[in-house]
Amino acid sequence: MGDVDRVEKAERLGRKRSQIFFVLAMVFFAGQSVYFGAPEATRDSPARIGAWLILVILMLFLLATGGFLLQGRDVRDLLNDESARASRVAAQAVGFWATILALIAVYVESMFDRVTLNEAVHIVGTIGVGAALISFATRERRAHRLG
Amino acid sequence: MAERLANRLRAEREFRGWTQAELAARVGVSRKTINTIENGVFVPSTLTALKIAESFERTVDELFSVVED
């Protein structure tokens, strides 16, 4: 594969990645409406909690690696070049601040209402990871649209 | 007063008849990176700025400059 072909392949995969990450984050948030919408029916379900945990770990893994691990090293290097790494660093900062704000919100809520550890972890984890993934996807989509 | 990094990448690239993908392949970055640098959205690292300058056979100073808005 020539250098230009590799660049074009990385471009296609990069566009696809930003779309997949955005949709994944939206599905993730939408899934939480079930958890918080019908608490008595879902919160104690080990399957549902396990599914949430697996999704969180998957999203963190995608954010950390950029995905497409089966692609060749040369294409992955282009996919995760310095502009993608800059997007990732900015997204991680967004995730950090979203996590802290969620922690503060849960702390304040616990002063007025009973919040279990499970609920607190679920809320903070959902907001922190979801915000980071959406931030990365949005930055990458915007960068691909320029020009 | 705000400062930003201006560049002549698009002019140099178009002068040579290269596409963004061709320049990206020469520099070893993605087309998106070249695109965002050209549009002033992304400030490249020193290493990438040097590689871009080398691709054009120019100096970094000839391609990049600091401007005040």
Q: How confident is the model at residue A36 (pLDDT cuts 50, 70, 90)?
A: confident
Name the domain count of chain B.
1
Contacts of A88 in chain B (CB under 8 A): none
Write the pLDDT tens digit of every residue in B15-68. 999 999 999 999 999 999 999 999 999 999 999 999 999 999 999 999 999 998
pTM score, whole prediction: 0.88
Gap between the Cα atoms of B38 and A122, Å rounded: 42
- Which ipTM score applies to this complex? 0.87
Contacts of A90 in chain B (CB under 8 A): none
Q: Cα separation of A100 and A47, whole Å?
A: 28
Q: What is the pLDDT of residue A118?
A: 86
What's the half-sphere exposure (Cβ side, CA atoms, 13 Å) at A65?
12
Closest CA to B45 of B37, B35, B56: B37
Query: Does A81 or A50 have the greater pLDDT score?
Result: A81
Residue B69 in domain: no
Domain containing B50: what range?
A: 3-64
Taking the alpha carbons of A32, A38, A43, A45 in that order, is the dihedral positive or negative? negative
The helix/strand/coil state of A111 is helix
Position B32 in a domain: yes
Q: Residue B47's domain is classified under what CATH number?
A: 1.10.260.40
What residues of chain A have any CB closer than 8 angstroms to a CB in chain B?
2-4, 6-8, 10-11, 14, 78-79, 81-84, 86, 140, 143-144, 146-147
The pLDDT assigned to A33 comes to: 78
